[in-house]
Structure 1
Amino acid sequence: MNLFSGTIGQLENSIQYASAKNNAISNNISNADTPNYKADQVTFKSALDNEMAGIQTKATNERHLNVGGEENKPYRISKDTSTTYNHNGNNVDMDKEMSELAKNQIYYNSLIDRMNGKFSSLQSVIRGGN
């Protein structure tokens, strides 16, 4: 029996994704002047699409979903080698990175607020509604 109906696990995966994205963005910003550095990207949807494309499953009941096994990380980190913005071979676009950092921070904060709300609800139930 899953006590939390998977919500906390999904929030945990999302927080891990946001943390990995923040680390990649921070790494990109810190290497903005490094010659031939290629920016890291953290992607979720393409990783999901790639994983789902190669999965072979067999449903033994019409109510079964056609899904495969789970991977530890629901995201993938890759290098963007397709572009060069600077004369030294570097492809870090500071405006884009700062925009992504702000967007990711808002996303991360909303996940933390949601997780806190879940734990507050559990705490309220444990205390008997007080």
Structure 2
Amino acid sequence: MNLFSGTISNLENGLNYASLKNKTIAQNIANVDTPNYKAKDVSFQKMLEEEKLKSLKANKTDIRHYEFSIQQKTPGVFSYENFKYRSNGNGVDMDAEQASLAENTIYYNALVERISGKFNTLNTVIKGGK
């Protein structure tokens, strides 16, 4: 039986996603002057696709079958390989990164408030409504 009906774990997954996105944005901002650095981003859709592949198991029924392997990397993070924003080959648009950081911060704070509300509700129930 799942005591919290998956709500807290879903909020936790959202916080993990927002944290990974924040780290990626910070890495892009830190490398804004690095020649040939390609901007990175986090895609929720790619994270879902990679999770599906992790749970996918190949059934090898013959010795001639190839092994099924998954390359390990940070899930959901991808680079803009063919994008150059500056003449030195750097692909970071500082304005876009700052806007993305602000948007992600709002999203993260909303999740924190929601999970905090859940814990406050549980605390009230535990104390018997006092």
Same-fold call, TM cutoff 0.5: yes
Deviates further, 104-113 or 37-46: 37-46
Partner of 1:67: none
Tell me which stretches of 4 or more aligned residues in structure 1 moved more than 3 Å.
49-53
CA deviation vs aligned residue, 1:25-62 (integer Å, no higher than 9, x gap): 00000100000101111110233256559x88xxxxxx
Give the unaligned 5+ runs of structure 2: 57-74
Q: Percent identity?
A: 51
CA deviation vs aligned residue, 1:47-79 (integer Å, no higher than 9, x gap): 3256559x88xxxxxxxxxxxxxxxxxx51111
What SS does structure 2 have at the residue aligned with 1:35?
coil
Q: Is the alpha carbon distance of 1:51 and 1:12 closer, same or farther for their aligned partners in structure 2, counting shifts above 3 Å?
A: closer
Partner of 2:29: 29
Partner of 1:129: 129
Partner of 1:8: 8
What SS does structure 1 have at the residue aligned with 2:77?
strand
In structure 2, what is the Cα distance between the partners aligned to 1:117 and 1:52? Answer: 31
Give the unaligned 5+ runs of structure 1: 57-74
What SS does structure 2 have at the residue aligned with 1:32?
coil
- The CA RMSD over aligned residues, in Å, is 1.8
Report matched runs for 1:1-130 at 5 Å: 1-49=1-49, 76-130=76-130
Number of equivalent positions: 112
In structure 2, what is the Cα distance between the partners aligned to 1:41 and 1:124? Answer: 40
Partner of 1:68: none
Normalization by structure 2: what TM-score?
Answer: 0.79
Which residue identity is paired with 2:13? N
What SS does structure 2 have at the residue aligned with 1:129?
coil
